[in-house]
Structure 1
């Protein structure tokens, strides 16, 4: 093992130990972790090594920093996300758990805008750089902690000027929105990938820049194979568990 990899293993091992302590309740949820100097003395390492270990905890959701106050233990949430959801199901249909208890989603930051969408969304919708899309956005939280952003993009040209939906930012499923717009989707596909968060993702989800997010995109078409909309769901990876059902049959 090289010197560089050995040094890396030191802060990773410290992060593993602190993560285990949080899981075992040595540091309760919301309890302040020991300071940098105390941890450096305990593990007999430099302060920089402790900083790197604590950054790992922040990035995977086991700790949260509070400016001027310190770093606090945080129990990760466990919210199930089905990678191939039923587009006709109700918004916020997943099950959310915290400390073993079911929790309901709170929805805020609801807004509707008409602007050019991000370049990758525009490409999927077949829009030029100057063309706009109506965007409906909502933020979902559990116990006051933001965990998910949902944005629905529909090309402005497909939305009648007289449509009430142009002014109604209330959360809804994509199929419901398209019905309100007089559009009919007949097919769709969901793609989920991990990526670095954008600045807006970090601000709205209140996460550090080092924590990846899950980006699930539902793209839908009409009978003429015209792309009608993209629904983008951005999830805090420290809060979500991607769940798959597996059918097992006894071998004969």
Structure 2
């Protein structure tokens, strides 16, 4: 057991050193990382150990692999995420963005489907296995890098058949979408947790399987406490920090 722990500390320590090198500008953004053989020679370890260290860097967003080309340094973003913020307009507080401060996310993919939602979403909506939900999907990018997905699920049975919004895939704030559908939410609960990405998350965000995502879910209810919608936001953990404002005067 001690040998295994020692071996693990070696590749973790190498990953820590490479992160430090990147932070200090030894390897610039977009620059290829030295080959596994070169790094193995530098750290006096086997190539497999370097491979494991580089996989850690891929998982936390410090490098990105390009098939047939190698591994390249990627400066992690630091997008500020605050619950209930307008999804199309990022927070503009100082330090909110590490890579410049764009006026808004770029929405580069939208879709509208009508299918049974994933089991956990169906349970939150009170749907049976085969019951469908209308699902609005949007992908948000920064500097042409996908960083966030939103999926909004509304039970088909709740929707007026004449609602024009049933065919409108435009992403918009949940309260606005529900109003367009003729539904009124009066309260909501938000929960955020880390999880492994689904295969669809990996494909749409372009992230490795080993990187966790932040899954933030806003469950909206009406006056009768009936669940009207679940808005799921999936964020690349290599791009976001979760921020909360705290008034320290309240603690006095």
Q: How many residues align structurally?
A: 248
CA distance in 2, matches of 1:90, 1:2: 48
Cα distance per residue 1:4-30 (max 9 Å; x no partner): 111000000000000011111100000
Match of 1:243 in 2: 243
Instruction: Determine if the alignment matches structure 1 residue 91 to structure 2 residue 83.
Output: no
By how many angstroms is 1:249 displaced? 2.8
Determine the structure 1 residue equivalent to 2:108. 108
The corresponding residue for 1:142 is 142
CA RMSD of aligned residues (A): 1.5
Aligned equivalents of 2:138 and 2:172: distance in 1? 9
Kindly provide the CA deviation profile for residues 77-104 of structure 1, in whole angstroms up to 9, marking residues without a partner as x: 010001x315xx46344346233x2123
Cα distance in 2 for partners of 1:251, 1:85 equals 24
Q: CA offsets per residue over residues 107-137 of structure 1, 9 Å max, x none? A: 0210000000000000000000110000001
- Listed as ranges, the gaps of 5+ residues in structure 2 are none
Q: Secondary structure at the match of 2:182?
A: coil
Distance 1:50 1:178, change over 3 A: same
Q: Which residue of 2 aligns with 1:188?
A: 188
Using the alignment, how far apart are the partners of 1:45 and 1:174 within structure 2? Answer: 52
Distance 1:90 1:42 in 2: 45
Q: Distance in 2 between matches of 1:32 and 1:13?
A: 20
- Asked whether the 8 Å contact 2:88–2:105 carries over to 1, the reply is no
**CA apart distance, 1:250:** 9.5
Alpha-carbon shift at residue 159 of structure 1 (Å): 1.1
